[in-house]
Amino acid sequence: GRALAPVKEMVERTRTVSAKSLGARLPVANPHDELGELATVFNGALQQLEDAFAELRRFTADVSHELRTPLTAMRAVGEVALRERNPAILYDALGSMLEEVRRMNQMIERLLLLARADGDDMAAHLEAGLVRNLLVEVSDALTLVAEEKQQQIAVDCPEHLLAVFDPALLRLALVNLTQNAIRYSPEGKRITIRGLSEGGWVLVDVADEGPGIAAEHQQKVFERFYRVDKARSRTEGGAGLGLAIVKWSVERMGGNVELKSEPGRGSTFRLRLRSVTS
C-alpha cells in the first residue's frame, strides 16, 4: 500500500485536471525514478495543452475583433446614409460597404486556408519547374494594381532556372509578397522579383523600396494577425494574415522565408526553394 501511495496521489491529481485548470502540475518527488519520469512527461504534455488553449483563446479574440471592426464601420455608414435622401450619398455608402464586404471576404478566405493548413490535409504537389515563368505570371497579374500607384514590377531571373515547387503554393506566396510590396511602398517606387541559385538552393527575392520593417518586428510579422502599424495597415486592407500564409506555403514546399529590411531602405523577402539537384 505504501509503495503505491504516490501513484494514488498522481491519479487523484490527474482527476482534477480539466480544460479550466490546465495550469495544474503533478508533483515530482524524484525526477530520476520511474514515477518522477512519468510525472515529468505528463507535466510536459499539460504544458503543451495549456499553450495550445491559450493560443486558441488569443486567436478567437483576434478573429472576433477583426470581424467586428468592418461590421461596425458598415453599420455606421449604413445608418448615416439611411438618414439622407440623396442618391449620391447612398451610392457612396453602398460603395464603401461593399469595400468592407470585400475585405471581410478576403480575411475569411485566408482564415479558411490557414485552418486547412493547420489540419495538414493539403498535400503539396512538388515538381521541378521553370521559376521564371511563374515570376512573370505573378508580375503580369499584379501589373495593373501596381500601375494604380505608378509602380513598376521588374522580373530578373535566368530563363532556365529550375526549382522544386508546387506552382499553386509558390504563386500564393509570391502574390501575397508582391501585393504587400505594392501596398506598403509609396507611389512611383520599383518592385523587383528576382530568381537566382545559390549554395544548392534556389532563391526568390521580392524586394521593394518602401518604408522597411524595424528589427523588433521582423520575426513577428510572420505571426497571424500581426501588423506593424495597426491603424494604417487596416485602411490599406490587411488583417495581418498574408505573411503567415507565405511562411506556411514555402515551408510546405520544404523551403523557408526570411526578411531583410532596414527602416527607410525597403524590404526584401527571400524565399528559399529546393533546387532540382539538392
The contact set with ligand ADP (CB under 6 A) reads 180-181, 184, 208, 210-211, 213, 221, 226-229, 233, 238-244, 267
Instruction: Answer for the pair 213, 184: CB distance below 8 angstroms, yes or no.
Output: no
* Nearest one of 122, 118, 222 to 169, comparing CA atoms: 122
Residue whose CB is less far from ligand ADP, 197 or 233: 233
* 209 vs 204: CA distance, rounded Å: 17
Residue whose beta carbon is closest to ligand ADP? 238
* 215 vs 199: CA distance, rounded Å: 26
Residue whose CB is less far from ligand ADP, 96 or 233: 233
Residue whose CB is less far from ligand ADP, 163 or 213: 213
CB of 239 to ligand ADP, least distance (A): 5
CB of 1 to ligand ADP, least distance (A): 59
Residue whose CB is less far from ligand ADP, 9 or 99: 99
Q: What is the DSSP string of 52-110?
A: HHHHHHHHHHHHHHHHHHHHHHHHHHHHHHHH---HHHHHHHHHHHHHHHHHHHHHHHH
Residue whose CB is less far from ligand ADP, 239 or 253: 239
CB of 100 to ligand ADP, least distance (A): 15
* 124 vs 250: CA distance, rounded Å: 10
Q: What are phi and psi of 254, to 5 degrees?
A: 80, 20
Would the CA dihedral through 244, 246, 247, 249 be positive or negative? positive
CB of 276 to ligand ADP, least distance (A): 29
CB of 124 to ligand ADP, least distance (A): 21
CB of 208 to ligand ADP, least distance (A): 5
* 153 vs 142: CA distance, rounded Å: 8
Residue whose CB is less far from ligand ADP, 182 or 202: 182
Which cell is 202 given?
Answer: 534556389
* 142 vs 137: CA distance, rounded Å: 9
CB of 51 to ligand ADP, least distance (A): 22
User: ∠ at Cα 40 (36, 44), nearest 5°?
Assistant: 170
Residue whose CB is less far from ligand ADP, 39 or 222: 222
The one-character DSSP state at 199 is T
